[in-house]
Amino acid sequence: MAKFKKKTKADTNIPTSALPDIIFMLLFFFMVTTVLREQDLLVEQKIPQATQLQKLQKKSLISYLFLGKPKNTSLYGVEPRIQANDVLINTSDILQWVNQEKDALSEAERDQITISLKADRDVKMGPVSDIQFELREADARKLMYATVGKVEE
Amino acid sequence: MAKKKIRTSQEVNAGSMADIAFLLLIFFLVTTTIASDKGILNILPPKQDPNQPPPEVELNERNIFNILINANDQLLIEGEFRTTTEGLTEEIKTFILNFGNPDEDNLALFNSLPASLRAMAERSPESSDYPGSGGAVVSIKTNRGTSYEIYLEVLDLVKRAYFEIYGERVGLTADEYRALTGQTAAEKELIDRGKENIPMAISIAEPDKTGS
């Protein structure tokens, strides 16, 4: 009987000594890009899509207003509500809120305040225009409709 | 002679390092929200003085590109009923670039345009007089019941028409033009040259209260 020669096996082990380095690299990437959620959202947020996005340079000048249907419908109802910081506010409170936000900025930057309106896509124009009216009253006229990029076909 | 000490291995076991890093990685993956400070910028008009009625601006009907959106998200564009926004950007571009009745400044503007835009510019007397200030205005009017989504879609298309014109003037695409930050002098110059004498005249009217 012919004897089969035993095949010399190649070393099949993948060197994993560089794995921690790769993982660390990913880790640092996410650590740097991450923004820990500052606030709990009390309203639904499905941000609409658009193509002509512009990016704002100075983040410190941006204040956020959230608009959408409350998540806790048994407590707040189903009509769209406005959230500023951590609470739901009424349209009439916007003026005061804008002034608070303006106070947090330095004197020179006060009139450059930008409001980023993060409105749910199911919201109607009624509440949006109410907000716009209040912002005009508060003299915070730079408004940004927060949108996410749309992939063009 | 002293005995050689038996040395224990000095290496730290690094095999579990990857696991620890993985755990942290997963934590940051879950908690991360990549900041998206992007959107469509809109400058609101200054607030109205209740004692002073808004100044009457006399604009010729031909200088206004009317877009009406009703509570059922149906569009009325220049008096024509539509259900989709298809082709709106092109229409607005031809509207803006129409030189129906240009004055001297705008004739100079016409001559400064690149050939590709000049080819688009028509001289129809029924459309807008000129792109410069006091000329073409795009007006968007919604109803309180109009959905936010369709409003943004229309505003997006109007902005796109302007950005495509601006970009083409300086030899960039609309995307490249929008990405300009204006932080360096060269970029600022490009931005200014793009929009020089063609103001982004988008008028957003107060929504109707009826029918919502």
Arithmetic mean of pLDDT, B177-196? 82
- Contact at CB, A116 and B39, closer than 8 angstroms: yes
Which of A23, A135, A147 lies at the smallest CB-CB distance from B152? A147
Q: Tell me the nearest-neighbour CA distance from B128 into chain A, angstroms.
A: 24
pLDDT at B77 over 80: yes
Q: What is the CATH number of the domain that holds A140?
A: 3.30.420.270
Which of A53, A125, A135 lies at the smallest CB-CB distance from B143? A125
- State pLDDT tens for residues B53-62: 766 667 777 8
Mutation target to probe the B interface, by most B beta carbons within 10 A, among A52, A62, A122 is A52
CA distance A81 to A75: 12
Is residue A40 in a domain?
Answer: no
- Contact at CB, B143 and A122, closer than 8 angstroms: no
Say if strands B75-77 and B80-82 run parallel, antiparallel, or are unpaired: antiparallel
Q: Say which residues have a Cβ less than 8 Å from residue A73's Cβ, sequence separation at least 6.
A: none
Is residue A13 in a domain?
Answer: no
Closest CA to A116 of A42, A76, A60, A71: A60
Q: Which pair of tokens denotes residue A119?
A: 């409105």
CA distance B99 to A47: 38
Q: What is the ipTM of this complex?
A: 0.74
Dihedral sign from CA coordinates of B125, B74, B139, B172: negative
Write down the mean pLDDT value for chain B. Answer: 80
- Contact at CB, B152 and A48, closer than 8 angstroms: yes
Dihedral sign from CA coordinates of A37, A42, A46, A48: negative
Going from N- to C-terminal start, the domains of chain B cover 61-204
Q: Which residues of chain A are within 8 Å of residue B155 when distances are taken between CB atoms? A: 50, 145
Residue B39 has φ and ψ, to the nearest 5°, of 175, -175
Q: Which residues of chain B are within 8 Å of residue A48 when distances are taken between CB atoms? A: 148-149, 152
Is residue A36 in a domain?
Answer: no
Q: What is the pLDDT of residue A37?
A: 61
Which secondary structure element, helix H or strand E, spans residue A118, and what is its range? Answer: strand A114-119
Is residue A6 in a domain?
Answer: no
Tokens 């990029």, residue located: A149
Identify the weakest region by mean pLDDT among A3-12, B85-94, B169-178.
A3-12
CA distance A95 to A68: 19
Which of B43, B147, B152 lies at the smallest CB-CB distance from A50? B152
- Of the two residues B101 and A29, the one the predictor is more confident about is A29
Is residue A16 in a domain?
Answer: no
With CA atoms as reference, the chain A residue closest to B164 would be A52
Banded pLDDT at A20 (limits 50, 70, 90): confident
CA distance B205 to B212: 16
Arithmetic mean of pLDDT, B62-72? 86
Is residue A29 in a domain?
Answer: no
CA distance A83 to A42: 7
Is residue A44 in a domain?
Answer: no
Which of A27, A56, A142 lies at the smallest CB-CB distance from B21? A27
Q: What is the pLDDT of residue B212?
A: 43
Residue B211 one-letter amino acid: G
- State pLDDT tens for residues A32-55: 877 666 677 888 888 888 888 888
Please tell me whether the overall predicted TM-score, pTM, comes out greater than 0.80 for this model: no
pLDDT at A80 over 60: yes
- Contact at CB, B42 and A56, closer than 8 angstroms: no
The C-alpha R_g of chain B, in whole angstroms, comes to: 28
Q: Taking the CB of residue B204, how many other CB atoms lie within 10 A of it?
A: 18
Is residue A75 in a domain?
Answer: yes
What spatial distance separates the first Cα and last Cα of chain A, rounded to whole Å?
68
Q: Which residues of chain B are within 8 Å of residue A57 when distances are taken between CB atoms? A: 181, 183
pLDDT at B64 over 70: yes
| Total domains in the fold of chain A | 1
pLDDT at B211 over 70: no
Which of B18, B148, B153 lies at the smallest CB-CB distance from A124? B148
> Which residue segment(s) compose the domain that A93 sits in?
49-149
